[in-house]
Amino acid sequence: MIEHSTGRRWKILGRGYAGAVVGTLLLSFSWVVTAGAHDVSNMGGMEMGDQADGGMGDMDMHDSHLDHGHMKNMALHMTWSDAIPANAADQARADELVATLKKALDRYKDYRVAEADGYKPFHPEFKNQAMVHFTKWSYAIKAQFTFNPSEPTSLLYKPTPGGGYELIGAMYTAPKRWSEQDLNARVPLSVARWHKHVNICFPGKGVDPSAVDWTRFGPSGSIATEQDCDTAGGRFYPTLFGWMVHVYPWETNLQQVWAH
């Protein structure tokens, strides 16, 4: 069942609350992208689809959305929804979501149209990103309260030679407080696994990002406890952002459509 927005629920946000949410997300994501850009710059000839030994579980080539160079630490900072047994009803619901999304995304194959509609890329100056999120913050806020499969929080683009972008997918989001039952009502857990970024230590305020040891800090750093983060003079976030799920509607392999 798809949730429907109501005017009264939307109005409870208010400009002040919306601004605070956006500001927090922008600040946090700035640190994430900075860390990711550093990781990518040190990856050499490694392909984003390569898997480090151990700790990768069911993760695959699509798990590069934050460009984590130090993949061996990724398991320290990710939590996943549990899969439930497949069933025909869930698959039909997922197929309906994908069909709806495909129709909505068609116009955004031209990334300039997406930008004109309010989707903005994060740090496009980082040229080594394997995937760039174009995020629409009004949709990010709405997703905290309601779900419209035609309005994904982010569009996922692959950079192309010459400075362009190829649309490859989208990302839905949900509140970090949600239970798996809530997530299943939005996108069935028998088809997709939602994820959250957890236990992340960012450097202290005022620290020059270029001077940070990103093998220790950030979404792929070795620090994963509040105690170790405090000792290192950092700022600890038990959960960063909320739940997220990627969808690649043009994949011909059904197992890759809702890849992590």
Please report the pLDDT score of residue 50 as a whole number: 32
pLDDT at 60: 38
Using DSSP, state whether 65 is helix, strand or coil: coil
Residue 51: closest CA among 69, 34, 37? 69
Are residues 141 and 22 in contact, defined by beta-carbon separation less than 8 angstroms?
A: yes
pLDDT at 178: 96
Determine the pLDDT at residue 75. Answer: 82
CA dihedral 130, 189, 187, 30 (to 10 degrees): -40
- How many angstroms separate the CA atoms of 42 and 81, rounded? 31
Whole-angstrom distance, CA of residue 157 vs CA of residue 132: 5
Check: CB of residue 204 under 8 Å from CB of residue 81: no
> Taking the model in full, what pTM does it have?
0.74
Average confidence (pLDDT) per 10 residues, the chain, 260 residues: 44 43 46 45 32 32 41 81 95 97 98 97 74 94 97 96 94 96 97 93 91 90 94 92 95 88
- Strand 164-174 to 195-202 pairing: unpaired
